[in-house]
A and B are shown apart, each in its own frame.
Chain A
Amino acid sequence: MVLDLMILILSIFNFKQLKMTEQTNTIIQLIKKITLLSIVIFVIIIFSDHKGYFNPDNKNNHTLKKWNYFYEFNKKNNVDLLLIGSSHLYTGINPKNLSSASGLNSFILASPGTRVIDHFYTLEEALKVSTPKVIIIETYGLRSHEPYQLKNDLLSNQFKSFSARRNTLLKLQSTPLLFAPKHYPYCWSNTLRNHNFIFTNNKQISENIKISKKRRKIKKDLYLGRYVRFQTGIEDSIINKYRIDGAPVDGGKYEINENSSFYIQKIINLCEENKIKLAFLTLPMYHEHIKNYNVWKKRLQIELGEYGSTDHWLDLQIPINYSNFSRNSFENTYKLNQHMTYSGSLLATYKLVDFLNTKNLLTKDIKKKEQKWRSLFYGEEGFFENNSPVKHDKRNKIIYTSESIEILLLKKQNHNTILAKIKTNDTADLDNNKIELEAIVTSNGQQYKQNLLLNYDIYHSHKKNRNYTLNIKSTVTEIKIVNVKYP
Chain B
Amino acid sequence: MLFNSIEFAIFFPIIFILYFLFFNKNIRHRNLFIICISYFFYAMWDWRFLSLIIISSIADYLIGFKIYDSENEKTRRGFLLLSVIINIGILGFFKYFNFFTDSLLSLFELFGWTYSYRRLNIILPVGISFYTFQTLSYTLDIYRKRLTPTKDITSFFAFVSFFPQLVAGPIERAKDLLPQFHKISKVSYNSIRSGLILITIGLFKKIVIADRLAVYVDSCYANVDQANGIPMLIAIIFFAFQLYLDFSAYSDIAIGIARTLGFNLSTNFKRPYLSNSFSDFWKRWHISLSSWFKDYVYISLGGNKVNKTKIFRNIFIVFLLSGLWHGASWNFVIWGALNGLFLILLDNHINQRIKSKLLKHIFIFVSWALSLVFFRAQTFNEAINVFSNINLSNKSNIYSMGLNNSELHFTFWLLLCYMLIEYINEKKGNLINIITNRNIIIRFTFYLLLILSVILLGAYGVGFNDTNFIYFQF
Contact = CB atoms under 8 A, between A and B. Distances in A.
A41 B451 contact: yes
A186 B456 contact: no
Question: B-side binding surface: helix, strand, loop or mixed?
Answer: helix
Contact of A193 (B32, B193, B410, B462): B462
Contact of A195 (B24, B451, B456): B456
A182 B461 CA distance: 8
B187 A26 contact: yes
A41 B448 contact: yes
Contact of A30 (B22, B193, B452): B193
B52 interface: no
B455 A196 contact: no
Given A8-B29, A44-B452, A196 B410 contact: no
Contacts of B192: 26-27, 30
B448 A195 contact: no
Interface string B6-24: 1100000000011011111
B187 A195 contact: no
Contacts of B462: 152, 155-156, 183, 186, 193
B451 A11 contact: no
Contacts of A202: 406
A6 to B, nearest CB: 11
A18 B24 CA distance: 12
Contacts of A40: 448
B207 to A, nearest CB: 11
Interface residues of A, number: 39
A443 interface: no
B28 A4 contact: yes
Among B22, B23, B28, B154: residue with most chain A CB under 10 A? B22
A8 B33 contact: yes
B187 A23 contact: yes
B404 A5 contact: no
Interface in B180-201: 186-189, 192-193, 196
B457 interface: yes
A218 interface: no
Nearest to A18: B21
Given A37-B444, A41-B451, A181-B6, A186 B461 contact: yes
A192 B404 contact: no
A435 B395 CA distance: 73
Contact of A23 (B18, B20, B32, B447): B20
Interface in A178-228: 181-186, 191-193, 195-196, 198-200, 202
A195 B6 contact: no
Contact of B6 (A7, A185, A193): A185
Contacts, number: 89
B348 interface: no
Contacts of B23: 8
Interface in B366-387: none
A162 to B, nearest CB: 13
B6 A184 contact: yes
Contacts of B466: 182
B327 interface: no
Nearest to A54: B456
Contacts of A182: 5-6, 466
Contacts of B29: 4, 7-8, 11
B461 A196 contact: yes
A198 B459 CA distance: 11
B153 interface: yes
A193 B33 CA distance: 36
A55 to B, nearest CB: 14
A29 interface: yes
B404 A199 contact: yes
A253 to B, nearest CB: 26
A424 interface: no
Given A8-B29, A8-B33, A41 B455 contact: yes
A37 B197 CA distance: 13
Interface string B436-458: 00000000100110011001111
Interface string A1-39: 100110110011000001000011011011100100100
Given A11-B22, A26-B189, A200-B407, A1 B153 contact: yes
Contacts of B18: 12
Contacts of B458: 195
B153 A195 contact: no
A26 B28 CA distance: 23
Contact of B455 (A26, A152, A192): A192
Given A1-B154, A198-B457, A29 B189 contact: yes
A34 B459 CA distance: 24
Contacts of B196: 34
Counting chain B CB atoms within 10 Å of each CB, which of A7, A23, A31, A200 scores highest?
A: A23
Given A155-B462, A182-B6, A186-B462, A26 B188 contact: yes
Nearest to B410: A199
Interface of B: 5-7, 17-18, 20-24, 26, 28-29, 32-33, 153-154, 186-189, 192-193, 196, 404, 406-407, 410, 444, 447-448, 451-452, 455-459, 461-464, 466
Give the 4 A-B residue pairs with the shortest CB-CB distance, closest first. A199-B407, A27-B20, A8-B29, A26-B189
8 contacts: A11-B29, A181-B7, A186-B462, A192-B455, A192-B461, A196-B463, A198-B456, A199-B410
Given A12-B22, A30-B193, 13 more contacts: A1-B153, A4-B29, A4-B32, A8-B32, A11-B22, A29-B189, A30-B192, A37-B447, A41-B451, A191-B455, A192-B461, A195-B461, A196-B463
